[in-house]
């Protein structure tokens, strides 16, 4: 069965869902399956990941609602590329894809993948999303809990395919470790926690800041540590609150937001452990990436995380900084436990969450949908 895949999303910004799209597009291209990534807005920072690959990225540069020009451009691009499947990855793109596909002479199956739990701002859009979801041929999700959330949100009546995220092997380079730790001002004895994510309310970085303050109270100067967050503090209300909280808790010297980084592999190499404080997630790529490089992981038990990692990570309740601080202290003071978690997590991810497995499952899903339509 001949496949041509159009992947549509808002923008290739630094985020877990967007990295899944990058890995999927690269995996399809490696199998000589023609693939095009169409961004409703700009290309985004992750578009550079496709340099030297046959994957073409198209940006519609639409930054306002009800953009007729963007709709026309999308219709034109789909007509020219003639995909066998149009695969959507966020709700912002759904109305545009449905209308562009509906007025096309070459209609193709519309598929949707749900990546997260719709933490904030989606209830007002529910009626619109339910309407346009009627035009989808099939639906997938990255975990059972994500599937349940979207099934309820859309009143989706049909089965949902579960396709877990996949991550490539990430080498851990000793040279990167030394370079980045020097850049971050880490002494050799400092224990470095890494967090990765765009600062948004669902990431709950305020809980991480509060946990850092509790650790500072517990250890004082006796056990030095630092927390580095690969994420950009913008001028929005949430980020202003985080800046204020850093000052109020007196931890700005040991908890740093690094801004956007395109060297996440080097950051993983520099870290001693990974920490995720989110109050809502689907199946976060950053946890899987951290495990594949051999970092012990602390995470809140939200979304599909607990089902995915089992006992290969330290799991705590969300919105509980004291639990988060206790888990962080445990890794700092129990190196044998930290190493056992790192070893188990790496083996688990390599066996269960490889990119090739993910691409295999998406290709199988595409073929199943197309066969049902024939």
pLDDT band at 106 (very low <50, low <70, confident <90, very high): low
- In the beta sheet, which residues pair with residue 226? 192
| Mean pLDDT within 9-24 | 96
Per-residue pLDDT at 19 exceeds 70: yes
pLDDT of residue 373: 66
Q: pLDDT by residue (tens digit) across 241-261?
A: 999 999 999 999 999 999 999
Q: Are residues 249 and 210 in the same domain?
A: yes
pLDDT of residue 154: 98
| Mean pLDDT within 347-363 | 96
pLDDT of residue 107: 76
Q: Is 297 in contact with 345 (CB distance < 8 Å)?
A: yes
pLDDT of residue 104: 53
Per the structure, the complete domain to which residue 76 belongs is given by 5-166+354-373
Q: Are residues 158 and 229 in the same domain?
A: no
- Write down the mean pLDDT value for the chain: 94
pLDDT of residue 262: 87
Report how far residue 318's alpha carbon sits from residue 203's, in angstroms, rounded to the nearest whole number: 10
Report how far residue 367's alpha carbon sits from residue 177's, in angstroms, rounded to the nearest whole number: 43
Q: Are residues 346 and 243 in the same domain?
A: yes
pLDDT band at 119 (very low <50, low <70, confident <90, very high): confident
Report how far residue 355's alpha carbon sits from residue 357's, in angstroms, rounded to the nearest whole number: 5
Q: Are residues 119 and 19 in the same domain?
A: yes
| Mean pLDDT within 147-173 | 94
Q: Are residues 120 and 159 in the same domain?
A: yes
Q: Are residues 34 and 149 in the same domain?
A: yes
Number of structural domains in the chain: 2
| Mean pLDDT within 154-175 | 92
Backbone torsion region of residue 121, taken as left when φ is above 0, otherwise alpha when ψ lies between -120 and 50, otherwise beta: left
| Mean pLDDT within 296-318 | 96
Report how far residue 123's alpha carbon sits from residue 120's, in angstroms, rounded to the nearest whole number: 8
pLDDT of residue 171: 80
Q: Are residues 336 and 187 in the same domain?
A: yes
CATH number at residue 142: 3.40.50.2000
- CA-derived radius of gyration, the chain: 21
pLDDT of residue 374: 53
| Mean pLDDT within 170-185 | 90
pLDDT of residue 64: 82
Per-residue pLDDT at 105 exceeds 60: no
- In the beta sheet, which residues pair with residue 35? 5
Q: Are residues 216 and 358 in the same domain?
A: no
Q: Are residues 139 and 235 in the same domain?
A: no
Q: Are residues 132 and 192 in the same domain?
A: no
pLDDT of residue 172: 80
CA within 13 Å, CB half, 66: 1
Q: Are residues 190 and 270 in the same domain?
A: yes
Q: Is 231 in contact with 188 (CB distance < 8 Å)?
A: no
Q: pLDDT by residue (tens digit) across 28-80?
A: 999 999 999 999 999 999 999 999 999 999 999 998 878 899 999 999 999 99
pLDDT of residue 29: 98
The reported pTM is: 0.90
Q: Are residues 205 and 160 in the same domain?
A: no
Q: pLDDT by residue (tens digit) across 205-231?
A: 999 999 999 999 998 777 899 999 999
Looking at the chain, how many residues does it have?
374
pLDDT above 90 covers a percentage of the chain that reads 89
């Amino acid at each position: 069965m001949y496949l041509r895949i159009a992947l549509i999303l808002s923008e290739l910004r630094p985020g877990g869902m967007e990295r899944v799209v990058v890995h999927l597009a690269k995996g399809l291209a490696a199998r000589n399956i023609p693939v095009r990534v169409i961004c409703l807005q700009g290309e985004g920072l992750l578009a550079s990941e496709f340099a030297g690959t046959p994957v073409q990225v198209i940006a519609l540069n639409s930054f306002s609602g009800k953009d007729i020009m963007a709709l026309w451009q999308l219709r034109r691009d789909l007509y020219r590329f003639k995909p066998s499947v149009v695969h959507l990855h966020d709700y912002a793109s759904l109305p545009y894809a449905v209308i562009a596909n509906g007025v096309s002479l070459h209609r193709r199956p519309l598929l949707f993948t749900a990546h997260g739990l719709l933490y904030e701002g989606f209830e007002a859009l529910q009626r619109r999303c339910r309407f346009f979801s009627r035009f989808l041929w099939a639906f997938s999700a990255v975990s059972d809990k994500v599937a349940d959330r979207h099934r309820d949100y859309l009143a989706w009546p049909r089965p949902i395919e579960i396709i877990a995220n996949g991550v490539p092997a990430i080498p851990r380079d000793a040279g990167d470790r030394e370079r980045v730790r020097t850049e971050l001002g880490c002494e050799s004895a400092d224990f470095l926690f890494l967090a990765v994510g765009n600062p948004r309310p669902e990431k709950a970085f305020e809980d991480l800041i509060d946990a850092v303050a509790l650790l500072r109270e517990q250890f004082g100067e006796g056990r030095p540590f630092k927390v580095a967050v690969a994420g950009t503090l913008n001028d929005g209300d949430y980020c202003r609150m985080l800046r204020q909280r850093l000052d109020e808790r007196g931890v700005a010297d040991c908890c740093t937001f690094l801004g956007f980084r395109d060297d996440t592999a080097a950051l993983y190499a520099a870290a001693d452990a990974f920490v995720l404080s989110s109050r809502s997630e689907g199946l976060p790529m950053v946890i899987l990436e951290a495990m594949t490089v051999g970092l012990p992981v602390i995470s809140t038990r939200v979304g599909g995380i607990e089902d995915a990692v089992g006992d290969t990570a330290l799991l705590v309740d969300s919105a509980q900084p004291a639990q988060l601080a206790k888990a962080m202290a445990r890794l700092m003071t129990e190196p044998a436990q930290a190493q056992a978690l790192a070893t188990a997590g790496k083996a688990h991810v390599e066996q269960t969450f490889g990119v090739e497995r993910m691409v295999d499952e998406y290709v199988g899903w595409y073929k199943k949908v197309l066969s049902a339509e024939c």
